[in-house]
Structures are given as C-alpha cells and as structure tokens.
Structure 1
Amino acid sequence: MAPRLLACFGRRGGATASAPDEAEDQQQVAPGPVLVELFSSQGCAASPEADAVAARLAQDSGEGSVVVLGFHVDYWDYRGWKDPFASSAWTVRQKAYVEALSLDTLFTPQIVVQGRAHCVGTEQDALAQAVRDAPRYPAPAMKVTFQRPNPTTLQASFTGALRSRVEGAGGASVLVALYENGLVTDCGRGENKGKPLLNDHVVRRLEKVAAVREGASARKAVSGTVQFPLWDGFRATKCGLVLFVQNAALQVLGVQHFDLPDNV
C-alpha cells in the first residue's frame, strides 16, 4: 500500500503562502509568537503548579501570541517516581540553556522565554514580564505535508521562507517539535504521590529540519523532511507541531505552529 499523503498549513502567526515577495520588508510583517519552554518533572513537587501556569498562559494569551512547549527532564526520576515523559535529551537541552544564560545550576520548574530569559515556572508575574519583554520575529512562512510511510512513523516535509534574518554567529537550526496535550498520569510515588497530574504541550519528539548559514536573508527559502517515531496511543487530535528557528546562542528567531490533520 502506498503511503498516505496529507496536507496541513500553519497557523498562529504563520502565513501559509509561499516565500514572501521580494518587495516585502521584514518590519511590515506582523510579529509571530513568543516561544515559552517549560522544563519540569512529575517528580518535582512544584512542577504541577508550573504546568498549570504555562497552560493558562497559552490559553489566555490569544491566538498567535505565545506558544508553549513542555520538556520533561529525567534528573528527578531517582526520587521515587519515573516521569513517563522524561528524556535525557531534554535534560541536555536545559543544560545548554544553563550555559547560554550563564546560570549556576539546573532546577525545576524552569521557564525559558525565546531562548533569552528565564524564570521560575511558578512565578506568573515574572513570566508575564519576560513574555512582554521578549523580542518577537515574523513567523516563518512554511508549508507542511504529512505522510505515514508505515503505521509507526509520521513524516513531515517543510518548505518555505524564514521571514527573519539569521542573527548571531554560527548560523541557525530550523527545529520542529511534536507535542501532545491532555496527558493524565496517576502518580504513585515520589513528591506528587497520590495526585492526578495533567500535562499539556508535552514534547514527545524534537527533530532538525534544516541548517541555515549565518546572515541568511529573511527571504531565504528552506526545506527539509523529518520522521517522527510514534508512540502507543498516538492520536493526531491531541497533538501539534511547533517549528522554530534557533541560532547558535540558542536565541529563537521565529516560531510557527501547525495543527495535525485529524486523519493523519
């Protein structure tokens, strides 16, 4: 049987047209979303509150204003409860932010805004201020098509324009996260023992779409294909994709959100 081919177009600040006209000026394009990354763990007593804070921010910020991704780290797993969504790769990602932001140590819950500022995940006022202060860039103008080459793999192919100049030395990476909402876990041990834990925006996969050279124009067209291994119980209606451009200093230069087709 041939692979199924489906199409889905970006939203939340991401135009679905092809590359911008040559006369288009970057300052004339509406700013796209701010990326908020929450590093948390089901083994951390404060993380459920931070999850709720991030979920409210995503809900209350309005269409196209903020995109939230939740990265569950694994360094609390030894405390009696192994977070089912934790990954050592997300711990490595948080460590990279510790270095980039000149911090002293890892901690949860931590929120990183646009790769440039951070705060404790439960501090709503500090988070709101960080979002207001964050630089905002036009969302990439990418299109995506989906295929299922086999029942356990989702393939996504992207093409379009960056819409923001690549700032900073070392170029940038175009990354895409596959996240899942509405995850409920009955925590049986650890600091949250006995609590039903609700997690949204949980990053299940993170892949690199393309590399972009330093100084690349806002009109730079990029393309790439990634494959996401799927998990038991995958449901497209609970998931979405977030594509973002991140330079070598881990600063985010543009964010675009995609829904998944219901029948993917």
Structure 2
Amino acid sequence: MAARLFSCFGKGQKQQDFNSSGNNKAAVTADEAAEAEERIGSGGCVVVELFSSQGCATSPEAELLLSRLGRGDFNLEVPLIVLAFHVDYWDYMGWKDPFGSSQWTVRQKAYVEALKLDTMFTPQVVVQGRAHCVGNEEEPLLSSIADAPTFPSPTFQAKFQRPSMDTLQVSLTGALRSKVDHQGVNVMVALYENGLVTDCLKGENKGRVLSNDFVVRRLEKLCSAKDISAKKTISGTVNFSLWKGFNAAKCGVAVFAQNRSHHIFGSQNFDLPDNL
C-alpha cells in the first residue's frame, strides 16, 4: 500500500490524576537513554503495536506475523504485548474495515509526528513507542524488539465486572514500579480481541478470508500520574462499551504507561475470565 499523509484530530478526555511530593531523581522522561540502558534485561514486556487495515493489500501478511509473535513462535528473550490498531483511512478504497477507527488513525499520526516521519502508512509497527518498521518485514521487526529497552512490569491487580450486558468494568490497583517526574505519564488500558475472521468482499483484498488477532476494540485512560515514587499505589476504573458478539474467552486487557513523547514505560497483560 502506497504511503500517504493524513491530517487527523482527536478529542481530549479528563481523567483522574495522581500526585506525590518528593524528589524527581531517576524520573521517567529525564535522561531516558541512560535510564533505559540501566533497565535493559529487567524482565518487563515489550509493547508491539501494528497499524493495519483490511483495505490494504499488504496488511494481511503483517497481521499473520503479529499473530505469530503473540503465539510465541519466535522464542524471543523478552515477553511481548502485541496490539493491532486498524486505521480507517483506506476505507475509501472499496472495503470498510469493520475494526477500523479514526481514533486509531489519530494514534498513528501522533507516532508519525513523535518519530519525525514524513508519512503515515500501513502496515506499520511501533515498538515501545520508540522505534518503527514496516509491519510485514520480519527481520527488522525482530531486530527492533531485540533492541528495545525493557522496564519493570507494573504490579496491578485487576477486577472485572459486567455492570450491564453491554458494559465491561475494569478496576486496577497497584504500582507502576517506575518513578515518574512532573511531566507525568498516562496509564492506558486496551481491550483487544483474538480469533477474528472476515470474508473480504470488496477492495484490494477482495475474495480473501482475513484473520486478525490482538485487535484493539477499545482504549481508555485509567489515570494520569506525576511526581510519584516507583512503589506508589495507584488505582482507577475504566468502563468499556461492548460490541455485539462480545466473547470474554477471546479477549484480553493490556495496561501500559506512556509519556508525552509517546515512549512506553512498563506494561502488563491480563486474560479475561471465561465466565465474565
């Protein structure tokens, strides 16, 4: 799929803030290169984000590679959290991606600006919010994962409830395990779905049966945190609106902290209870 540049705009959302007076030494966003070097090998997860579209002829190959990563086919030395964001800017090509969203297009645009790229394209992979590559190129992707800094995983405990048939409530309590300075981080919660199969009837993938895993269906901000120690306990709750056919056995929840530069510091993954 040829690369194009798109202008996109998103709406802000006010969320709970966590603050603590104290020193800012070793803070996230301060001397990041040195801090990352110190934390390499700390055992935390690496977040791999794929920006994809069913309307893009080269995205299915990247989706397959992402699924293999998530299954652990490559026997990597670090655990991964893989997330697929389906953008909407190829819908005009004749096939409207059922999982596409302008929200994910906005997220990709933020990475394009942060990484100082000229264009948006699919399939694109972003690793830990710091590096990117073409999503269907296996060797550069594995190299980016191997080179990515790792950080301690948060210690969140999760509670899942269904306040109504069309709502999933996720409550989290725990520590980020990384000190955060006055610039702060956003703690994000993604609800994703596996095992999706689509008969593509139009567009560049016409006639193909498309398989998609780790498809992000919802993304919410749990809270903002700043000026807190690594051991500071924070908590919050997000409510996800559910879609028709929601099946908890096919879904999972990923939590990650991301700063203003879009760098990810610490992440954690949860399976949903089958009987939710």
Match of 1:106 among 97, 115, 120: 120
Q: Given that residues 88 and 102 in structure 2 are in contact (C-alpha distance below 8 angstroms), is that contact kept between their aligned partners in structure 1?
A: yes
- Residues 71 and 202 of structure 1 are in contact (CA less than 8 Å); yes or no, is this contact kept in structure 2? yes
1:170 aligns with 2:183: yes
Taking the aligned partners of 2:118 and 2:58, their CA distance within structure 1 comes to 20
Give TM-score, length-normalised by structure 2.
Answer: 0.83
Q: Determine if contact 1:178/1:205 at 8 Å carries over to the other structure.
A: yes
Which ranges in structure 2 are unaligned for 5 or more consecutive residues? 1-37
RMSD: 1.7
Figure out how many residues of one structure are paired with residues of the other and give that number. 237
Q: How far apart are residue 170 of structure 1 and its match?
A: 2.3
The alignment status of 1:189 with 2:202, answered yes or no, reads: yes
Partners of 2:49 and 2:115 lie apart in 1 by 14
Runs ≥4 residues deviating over 3 A: 26-30, 61-64
Superposed CA deviations along residues 178-214 of structure 1, whole A, max 9, x for unmatched, are: 000000000000000000000000000001111011x
TM-score, scaled to structure 1? 0.86
Matching of residue 37 in structure 1 with residue 45 in structure 2: no
Whichever residue aligns with residue 52 of structure 1, its letter is: L
Distance 1:152 1:93 in 2: 25
State the identity %. 61
Q: Which residue of 2 aligns with 1:50?
A: 62
Is contact 2:195–2:213 with CA below 8 Å preserved after alignment?
yes
User: Counterpart of 1:108 in structure 2: which amino acid?
Assistant: T
Matched, 1:146 2:160: yes
Provide Cα deviations, 1:106-135, integer angstroms capped at 9, x if missing partner: 000000000000000011100000000000
Gaps of 5+ in 1: 1-25
Q: Does 1:91 align with 2:116?
A: no
- Cα deviations across residues 37-73 of structure 1 (Å, max 9, x unaligned)? 0000000000000001111122225596111000000
CA contact (8 A) 2:39 2:150 kept: no
Cα drift, residue 216 of structure 1: 2.7
Return the alpha-carbon distance in structure 2 between the equivalents of residues 66 and 230 of structure 1. Answer: 25
Q: 1:184 to 1:28 in 2, by over 3 A?
A: closer
> How far 1:28 sits from its partner (Å)?
11
Match for residue 147 of structure 2 among 115, 120, 133: 133
Q: Is the 8 A contact 1:241 1:259 kept in 2?
A: yes
